Amino acid sequence: MANTGIESHWLIGARRSRSPNQDARPIPASEIDVLVIHGISLPPGSFGGAYIEQFFCNQLDRTAHHYFQEIFLLRVSAHLLINRLGETVQFVSFDRRAWHAGESRYQGRNSCNDFSLGIELEGTDETPYTDAQYLKLAEITQSLFRTYPRLCPERIVGHSDIAPARKTDPGSSFDWTKYRSLLRNFS
């Protein structure tokens, strides 16, 4: 696997699709110390297509699917999306605050968006993620560790860990053991 790098807070090799759903962090980027893993599919349970990107860029056509009527006005984003093939799209530079965690809490601190990075994996709580996604996630994670030294394996959480009353992703289908094993292989 090629070594992925980060330049000026952008992942080298990721396609860029800038989301308007972002703002300045209240703390310096050097204070980023949590990585949040998410899972998403749009419509729910469907993979492929441009709906996730459209959603994060406020371009979702609410008439394209009945579920979109519920979410098209939401303003959310993530730093990165890794699709089922392991391809990456970056929506927000890492030094800026993406709106991925919502109401959240980690180790006594509220508002996790302030000090975290959010990576979305195209998937569901019940559908196994792909090998390509795990490999790309591990590769990217190691690059993030090198760029943001406060990040470490012990500070990687699921969305469900920081918002347990609201969120279940990345779900029981996410293989934490496999991911952590791949992380060791990339170190």
- Give domain status of residue 119, yes or no: yes
**pLDDT, mean over the chain:** 96
120 is an active site residue: yes
User: pLDDT tens-digit profile of 99-150?
Assistant: 999 999 999 999 999 999 999 999 999 999 999 999 999 999 999 999 999 9
Whether residue 3 is contained in a domain is answered as no
Please tell me the distance from the alpha carbon of residue 32 to that of residue 40, in angstroms, as a whole number. Answer: 23
Question: What angle (nearest 5°) sits at the alpha carbon of residue 177, between those of residues 99 and 7?
Answer: 45
Output the pLDDT for position 185.
87
Write out 38-79 in H/E/C secondary structure: EEECCCCCCCCCCHHHHHHCCCCCCCCCCCHHHHCCCCCCCC
Q: Are 33 and 151 in contact (CB under 8 A)?
A: yes
In the predicted structure, residue 1 carries a pLDDT above the cut 80: no
* C-alpha 3: how far from chain center: 19
Tell me if 100 is assigned to some domain. yes
What beta strand segments (E) does the chain contain? 6-7, 10-11, 15-16, 22-24, 34-40, 80-82, 88-90, 96-98, 105-106, 109-110, 116-122, 156-158
Q: Would residue 6 count as lying in a domain? A: no
Give domain status of residue 47, yes or no: yes
Q: How far apart are alpha carbons 60 and 79 in whole angstroms?
A: 18
The structural domain count of the chain equals 1
In a domain, 31, yes or no: yes
Q: Name the residue range of residue 59's domain.
A: 16-186
pLDDT at 179 over 60: yes
**Three-state DSSP state, 158:** strand
Residue 8 lies in a domain: no
Say which CATH number the domain at 52 has.
3.40.80.10
Domain annotation covers residue 94: yes
**pTM, whole model, 2 decimals?**
0.96
CA angle 164, 105, 181 (to 5 degrees): 70
Catalytic residue among 31, 87, 103, 120: 120
Q: Are strands 109-110 and 80-82 parallel, antiparallel or unpaired?
A: unpaired
